[in-house]
A and B are shown apart, each in its own frame.
Chain A
């Protein structure tokens, strides 16, 4: 059973950088599929942030593109998210997921999610 687990600080100061890592188990990232980050502000809907392939090829949400970096470490079988210059609007539960179809069409495995609060 493929498992994904997000990790990182739960509290980030405004204007600083949010950094999260998604560890994947029971499946090698190098074997294929796109791997993505999705977020959900409290009480709101889902927002796709971006996706990465094991080769490093990336796609980003145009509204976040200027602030987002997604990288992959195949040796550690994990991928990471960095979001710069955060504000309170970036407070959300952040999920990592495996896309079984396309870059960001159908995600079949998800992490449990991690709440990141932006506040001083």
Chain B
């Protein structure tokens, strides 16, 4: 049971847009910034978004992040088959179980 809740899977057609949600609480997303990672099969996670909506160098602007209250959202526009991957949200939790936390991951299928 992950501290952050993500849908297990989402799907969309090439060139379309998709959003992935990440639901948390007042002890994590509500007070700390969120990051998003892309994990292609058999590879290490790759940072896509940090500090809620910032993109590291080299990440295309097709990827965007936003937060509202205790939830965060990753948006991907102009979907490509190469975007098929698992996506994870992450942040810090300030509850009694303080520490780094991740969502359970969302499998994106580009139909």
Contacts and interface: CB of A to CB of B under 8 A. Distances in A.
Interface string B56-67: 100000000000
A111 B44 contact: yes
A108 B57 CA distance: 10
Contact of B100 (A48, A100, A110): A48
Nearest to A113: B44
Interface stretch (A19-27, A55-63, A75-83): A55-63
Interface size classification for chain A: 20 to 34
A86 interface: no
B104 interface: yes
A23 to B, nearest CB: 15
Given A45-B88, A46-B105, A108-B56, A103 B100 contact: yes
7 contacts: A38-B45, A60-B99, A102-B32, A103-B100, A105-B90, A105-B92, A112-B43
Interface of A: 36, 38, 45-48, 51, 59-63, 95, 100-108, 110-113
Closest 5 CB pairs of A and B: A104-B100, A48-B100, A106-B50, A106-B35, A110-B44
